[in-house]
């Protein structure tokens, strides 16, 4: 049996973790001031409205920071792999911690355009990112 740490799914974050089943990156958004925010919460951090809910984001982002992991902490994660902080094109101050795939670690750059792709893991879909083709 192998071990892969997975997030705990709650009512608030279920749309985020389950959107990948239909290819959707679902990010919470305020229906009053239209601010996107992550992680999911029941209150808008900008205007404190409780009229919030998940909406489908573009899935496009840019690498804001990254690190290359060379230790194989888990059998599923073949080292080396790239852990990245990406900022969404929809609203750059919304950032996700993720893993970059389909990209050699030496080729990663800050500012590199990436797009979401999903990896199924038990009953959730992990949002991972890969370089935009043609970049």
On whether the CB atoms of residues 128 and 118 are closer than 8 A, the answer is yes
The answer to whether 50 contacts Zn ion (rule: CB under 5 A) is no
Spatial separation of the C-alpha atoms in residues 67 and 83, rounded to whole Å: 5
The answer to whether 49 contacts Zn ion (rule: CB under 5 A) is yes
The answer to whether 128 contacts Zn ion (rule: CB under 5 A) is no
CB of 91 to Zn ion, least distance (A): 12
The answer to whether 58 contacts Zn ion (rule: CB under 5 A) is no
Q: Which is nearer to Zn ion, 31 or 109 (CB)?
A: 31
Q: Indicate which single residue of 6, 22, 33, 72 sits in contact with Zn ion (rule: CB under 5 A).
A: 33
DSSP letter at 16 equals H
Q: Indicate which single residue of 23, 39, 46, 135 sits in contact with Zn ion (rule: CB under 5 A).
A: 46
Spatial separation of the C-alpha atoms in residues 55 and 96, rounded to whole Å: 16
């Amino acid at each position: 049996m192998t071990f892969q740490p997975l997030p705990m799914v709650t009512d608030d974050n279920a749309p985020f973790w389950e959107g990948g089943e239909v290819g959707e990156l679902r990010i919470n958004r305020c229906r009053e001031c239209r601010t996107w925010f992550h992680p999911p919460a029941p209150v808008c951090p900008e205007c404190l409205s409780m009229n919030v809910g998940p909406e489908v984001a573009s899935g496009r982002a840019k690498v804001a920071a990254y690190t290359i992991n060379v230790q194989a902490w888990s059998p599923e994660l073949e080292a080396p792999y790239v852990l990245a902080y990406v900022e969404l094109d929809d609203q750059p101050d919304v950032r996700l911690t993720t893993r970059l795939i389909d990209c050699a670690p030496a080729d990663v750059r800050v500012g590199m355009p990436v797009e979401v792709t999903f990896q199924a893991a038990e009953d959730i879909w992990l949002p991972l990112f890969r370089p935009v083709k043609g970049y």
